[in-house]
Amino acid sequence: MLTAICRYGPRVVPETDAIVQRCRDRGELIDGPDIAAFEQACADRIGVEESVSASYGRMAFYYILNALDLRDGGEVILPALTFWVVPEMVRVAGLTPVFADVDPRTFNLDPASFERAISSRTVAVVPTHLYGLPCDMDAIVAIARRHRLAIVEDCAHALGATSRGSHAGTFGDAAFFSFQTLKPLNTYGGGLAVARDPRVLRRIRAQAEAEPWPSIERVRTRLRLGWVQRTFSRPSVFTVTAYPALLAAALWNGRADVYLWEKIRPLSPMPDSYRERYTNVQAAIGLAALDRLVEWTRATRAHAAIMDEALQGIPGVQVPHVPEGAGHVYYQYCVYAPDRDRLVRRALWRGIDVETLHVDVCSTLSIFGTQPPTPGAERAAQVVQLPVYASLGSRRARRIARRVRRLLAANAAFQDPVQKARTDIAKV
Ligand SMILES: Cc1ncc(COP(=O)(O)O)c(C=O)c1O
C-alpha cells in the first residue's frame, strides 16, 4: 500500500526516550543544569551573548514587551499575516496592535506599509520572519530608527535563518523564538527571548524566573502529547489514522484539520498554563536537537530545491521568492497556484496532505476590531504549502514534486475525483 504523506513532520531527536529517562533518573525532569546550558547554546547559535527560556514563544514576547517599558496603550505595528496569538499578546501587555500589509512575494512585512501605519502613538514594530524567510531588515530597521520605535523580531519560524550572514534575531532590540512541536527546534513547547540591551534581558529573566515550576504531572502530559504528535505524523500511522479522516472531510467540503488549531479568543486573563517555567527535560532535548539543526536545515532546503526545480516554469505557478542574501529555512514552502482549493483536494486524493494557511490574516479577525484593508496579506493567504520538512526524505519529496507538477500541468478537462464522488453521492 502506498503511504500518505502528512503535511507536518516534527523534528524528533532519535534519543528522546533516553534523554527523558536520564533526566528522570537524576531527578531533573523539572529543574536542572540543562536549562542554563541550553540557553547558552541557543545564544551561541543565534550569535548573541545570552538568552532566556520561557514556557512559550508568546510568553517570551510578552516578557519582552514588558521589559522594553513601552508607553501604556501605545501602538505596536505587526504584519497582518501572522499567528493571531502574537497581536493578542500585545493587547494582554496593555498595548494596541495595528496591522500593516505584507509583500505577497515574500509573505513578510512590507516596509512601505509599515511606514504608512506609523502614528504619534506608535511605540514598536514586530517584523515576523514568516515561514522562515528573513524580512527586509535593512529597510525596516532604518524606518524604525528614524521614528524611534523598538524592534521585536518574531523568529518563531526562523531559527537558523540568515540575512547577509547574520542570524534572524540579531537585527532589532529584542527577538523571540518558539520551540513548539512543529517549529525548527522542537522541545514539545517552549520559547526563548534575546535582547540587545543587557538591562532589558535582565528584566526579561526576572519575569521568566518568577513563574512557578510546572507540576510533574504537567511535564509528563507534555511528553506524552509529544509522543502522540510524533507517532501520528509518521507516514505508516498517518496513512491509516488522520489521512482517512481528512479525506472523508474533504468529500464533504469540510476541513478536519481546523480542530487541531488553537481557538481564536481573548487571552486575558492569561491561561494558567502560560505562567510556568521552561523545564530541564525540554532543555535537555533542545540541546540534542541543536546538534542536529544544521543537518535538518540542510535536508529541508534540499527538499525545497526539489520542489523549485519541478514547479518552476509552470504557467500561473510561483515558487517561493528568496531575495538576494537571504538564507531561507523553509518552515513552510508556499506556492501560488491556479485553482488552489481544487489542487489541494486532488493532492489529498493522491495521498499528499497539503496545508493552505498556517497563520491568520489578523486584520480580518473580529477580535482585533476594524482594521484597514490588507490586500497583500489576503493574496498571501492563497497559497498551497507543500511538505518539505527534514524527515520527508528526498524520495518522498520527489514523489510530491512529480505529483503536484502533474496536477498543475493537467488541463481543465481532468476530472476532480473528490468532486465527482461528492456529485455521485448527492445524486443517490
Ligand atoms: C509566527 C508565530 N509567532 C509566534 C508564535 C508563538 O509561538 P508559541 O506557540 O511558542 O507561543 C507562533 C506559533 O505558532 C507563530 O507561528
CA of residue 165 to ligand 1 center, whole Å: 24
Q: Is the CB of 156 under 6 A from ligand 1?
A: yes
3-state helix vs strand vs coil in the chain, percent to 5: 45, 15, 40
Q: Report pLDDT for 267.
A: 97
194: β partners: 175
Among 59, 107, 133, 178, say which to mutate for ligand 1: greatest number of ligand atoms within 8 Å of CB. Answer: 178
Among 59, 83, 157, say which to mutate for ligand 1: greatest number of ligand atoms within 8 Å of CB. Answer: 83
152: β partners: 174
The minimum-distance atom of ligand 1 relative to the CA of 176 is 4
CA angle 152, 155, 156 (to 5 degrees): 125
For 5, phi then psi, to 5°, come to -110, 125
Q: Report pLDDT for 12.
A: 95
The closest of 54, 32, 59, 51 to 281, measured between CA atoms, is 32
Q: Is the peptide bond before 269 cis (omega within 30 degrees of 0)?
A: yes
Distance CA 180, CA 276 (A): 15
108: β partners: 103
The minimum-distance atom of ligand 1 relative to the CA of 128 is 1
Q: Would you say the C-alpha torsion 353, 222, 286, 68 has a positive or negative sign?
A: positive
Distance CA 222, CA 199 (A): 33
The minimum-distance atom of ligand 1 relative to the CA of 191 is 10
CA of residue 85 to ligand 1 center, whole Å: 7
CA of residue 357 to ligand 1 center, whole Å: 14
AA letter at 185: L
Q: Are 77 and 95 in contact (CB under 8 A)?
A: no
CA of residue 241 to ligand 1 center, whole Å: 27
The minimum-distance atom of ligand 1 relative to the CA of 130 is 1
Q: Is the CB of 180 under 6 A from ligand 1?
A: yes
CA of residue 57 to ligand 1 center, whole Å: 6
Q: Is the CB of 57 under 6 A from ligand 1?
A: yes
Q: Would you say the C-alpha torsion 261, 404, 249, 377 has a positive or negative sign?
A: positive
Among 62, 86, 362, say which to mutate for ligand 1: greatest number of ligand atoms within 8 Å of CB. Answer: 86
The closest of 155, 154, 160, 134 to 290, measured between CA atoms, is 160
Q: Would you say the C-alpha torsion 127, 128, 130, 132 has a positive or negative sign?
A: positive
CA of residue 64 to ligand 1 center, whole Å: 15
Helix (H) or strand (E) holding 222: helix 216-232
Each residue's pLDDT expressed in tens, for the chain with a length of 428 residues: 678 999 999 999 999 999 999 999 999 999 999 999 999 999 999 999 999 999 999 999 999 999 999 999 999 999 999 999 999 999 999 999 999 999 999 999 999 999 999 999 999 999 999 999 999 999 999 999 999 999 999 999 999 999 999 999 999 999 999 999 999 999 999 999 999 999 999 999 999 999 999 999 999 999 999 899 888 888 889 999 888 988 888 877 777 676 677 899 999 999 999 999 999 999 999 999 999 999 999 999 999 999 999 999 899 999 999 999 999 999 999 999 999 999 999 999 999 999 898 899 999 999 999 999 999 999 999 999 999 999 999 999 999 999 999 999 874 334 445 555 554 555 44
Strands 150-154 and 122-125: parallel
Distance CA 32, CA 22 (A): 12
Q: Is the CB of 127 under 6 A from ligand 1?
A: no
CA of residue 179 to ligand 1 center, whole Å: 9
Q: Report pLDDT for 422.
A: 54
The closest of 211, 215, 332 to 274, measured between CA atoms, is 211
What are the cell numbers at 333?
514552502
Distance CA 238, CA 233 (A): 5
What are the cell numbers at 325?
542574501
- 98, 372, 401 from 116: Cα distances, Å: 11, 11, 40
Distance CA 269, CA 64 (A): 19
Among 58, 181, 264, say which to mutate for ligand 1: greatest number of ligand atoms within 8 Å of CB. Answer: 58
Predicted structure pTM score: 0.94
The closest of 297, 360, 326, 53 to 171, measured between CA atoms, is 326
Q: Is the CB of 82 under 6 A from ligand 1?
A: yes
Q: Are 76 and 124 in contact (CB under 8 A)?
A: yes
Q: Report pLDDT for 232.
A: 86
Strands 81-82 and 360-361: antiparallel
Q: Is the CB of 83 under 6 A from ligand 1?
A: yes
Distance CA 351, CA 63 (A): 42
